[in-house]
Amino acid sequence: MQKIKLVYIIDDDPLYNFGMKKLMEITEFAVDARFFLNGEEAVKDLSQRDLEKAPLPDLILLDINMPIMNGWQFLDKCCEWDSVQQCSIFVVSSSINREEIDKATSYPFVDGYILKPMTLDKIKDLKNKIQALI
């Protein structure tokens, strides 16, 4: 199976990010993981990568509720950006609100919705799904 080269985790929660780093290390999830505290930071980085023709992430894990640029604003930005739509994007949220889940999965380039907390089993399943896609 092919390795996941680059994953972006976009979430403002330091405890979640710490846990994700540990889960990614344990599962050898990706060659490189980059963490962003809001959508704006990720957009700037993605824009630079796109401009330089550098490889975009294989996977983006996106929280919804963040300051500065939230997940919805990030997804709306992606609607204007064909190259980023080629990345696997999963919304990762603690919300069980059916309207939010439906809204997230209504974006044609969003590959799924994962309910927090992330667990070892969820990470392993996600890794297998992404490796099958790349």
Per-residue pLDDT, 85 = 77
* Per-residue pLDDT reduced to its tens digit, 19-41: 999 999 999 999 999 999 999 99
Can you name the residues that pair with 82 across neighbouring β-strands?
none
* Per-residue pLDDT reduced to its tens digit, 76-119: 999 998 888 789 999 999 999 999 999 999 999 999 999 999 99
Residue among 91, 79, 85, 82 nearest 10 (CA)? 91
Q: How far is CA 23 from CA 10, 17, 34, in A?
A: 16, 10, 14
Flag whether pLDDT at 44 surpasses 80. Answer: yes
Average pLDDT across the chain, whole number? 94
If you search the block for the tokens 């297998």, which residue do you land on?
Answer: 128
Third-level CATH fold of 6-133: Rossmann fold (3.40.50)
Q: How far is CA 7 from CA 18, 60, 95, 106, in A?
A: 15, 6, 22, 22
Q: How far is CA 60 from CA 34, 113, in A?
A: 10, 12
Per-residue pLDDT, 1 = 62
Residue 48's Cβ-count burial label (10 Å; 0-12, 13-18, 19+) is: exposed
Per-residue pLDDT, 3 = 86
Looking at per-residue confidence, does 11 or 134 come out higher?
A: 11
Per-residue pLDDT, 10 = 98
Domain ranges of the chain: 6-133
Give the start-end residues of each E strand in 6-82: 6-10, 32-36, 59-62
Flag whether pLDDT at 132 surpasses 90. Answer: no
